[in-house]
Amino acid sequence: MKLLEYNADTPTSLYESAYFQWLWLEDARRSGIIPRDADQYNAIQERLISRFSELYSREPFYFCCCQDTDEDRSTVLYLQDCAQQAGQESRFIYIEDLGLGVGGVLTDLDDNVIQRAFKLYPLEWMMRDDNGPLLRKRREQWVEPLWSILSNKGLMPLLWRFFPGHPNLLASWFEGEKPQIAAGESYVRKPIYSREGGNVTIFDGQNNVVDHADGDYADEPMIYQAFQPLPRFGDSYTLIGSWIVDDEACGMGIREDNTLITKDTSRFVPHYIAG
């Protein structure tokens, strides 16, 4: 098992992993598609509700994403529902409707001061905004916290530097550094900030492009990794996403794509455990 990358900032596919595939499991057991005693590695929702209950406060918990992003909005509303089940007073607001009040406080459309918020919006986009420097002086509580920048793929070369040869890591290095693989081995180039396979390129040992995904991140700094082929079943390449809540693994989601690069058009595949 190899860690390809780590995302602690934008939890897309959470709804599918935590809720939808559990509904599928129950329906599939009832209809006889899978054994009636089949199980699933999925305690995500229970852990989310438990963790939200530990974050209780009298201040409303705001949940936000961009307008015209139906998939993101569904994910955010799911998280908001988990918070409500945990006893939190919660409110939804679009990123575009956030305001700055007197003293630089964050406000909603009714000029209420926002003290706690979850945003399904990349942190680096916030920092690059005209008001980005104000984030360094924020007083509200963000979930995930602003120091949680582990969606930055620069984490992978650092992990390899601290734990070289670890069996669960891929040899990784920053652009301009000495390659951490032998000459003639295949490798992958990834933007430090990118999502859903955007601008990822796979090269063979002779530096020929094997696969490439277009995207909006071509101008970002790059990292390089040893190539680890995804398992293939039929025409699908399969990738496992492990979910961590409150520092503990509690579920997984499986995505499949027709190419070696998992993109935003990939298919979510529910799973079950039998025997």
* Residue 68 structure tokens: 């015209």
Judge contact between 188 and 224, C-beta under 8 A: yes
Judge contact between 211 and 199, C-beta under 8 A: no
What average pLDDT is seen over the chain? 93
* Residue 162 structure tokens: 């601290």
Report the residue count for the chain.
275
Mean pLDDT, range 135-161, rounded to an integer: 81
Mean pLDDT, range 140-150, rounded to an integer: 74
* pLDDT beyond 90 at 74: yes
Q: Which long-range contacts (CB under 8 A, 24 or more apart) does 123-127 make?
A: 123/9, 123/148, 123/149, 123/151, 124/149, 124/152, 124/193
Judge contact between 94 and 49, C-beta under 8 A: no
Please indicate whether residue 145 or residue 81 has the higher confidence score (pLDDT): 81
The model's confidence at residue 146, banded by pLDDT at 50, 70 and 90, is low
Q: What is the pLDDT of residue 129?
A: 83
pTM value surpassing 0.85? yes
* pLDDT beyond 80 at 151: no
Mean pLDDT, range 150-168, rounded to an integer: 93
Q: What is the pLDDT of residues 21-32, one digit of tens each?
A: 999 999 999 999
Q: What is the pLDDT of residues 94-141, one digit of tens each?
A: 999 999 888 778 899 999 999 999 999 988 888 888 877 777 676 788
Q: What is the pLDDT of residue 180?
A: 97
* pLDDT beyond 70 at 268: yes
Mean pLDDT, range 47-63, rounded to an integer: 94
- DSSP strand pairing (141-143 vs 116-119): parallel
* Residue 196 structure tokens: 């859903």
* Residue 18 structure tokens: 């935590």
Rounded to whole angstroms, how far apart are CA atoms 171 and 162? 11
Q: What is the pLDDT of residues 200-220, one digit of tens each?
A: 999 999 999 999 999 999 999
Taken in order of first residue, the domains within the chain and their CATH numbers are 14-149 (3.40.50)
Judge contact between 65 and 126, C-beta under 8 A: no
Helix (H) or strand (E) holding 124: helix 123-128
Q: What is the pLDDT of residue 95?
A: 93
Residue with tokens 């530096």: 207
Residue with tokens 């390089």: 224
Q: What is the pLDDT of residue 100?
A: 84
Q: What is the pLDDT of residue 177?
A: 96
Q: What is the pLDDT of residue 101?
A: 84
Percent of the chain with pLDDT over 90: 78
* pLDDT beyond 90 at 34: yes
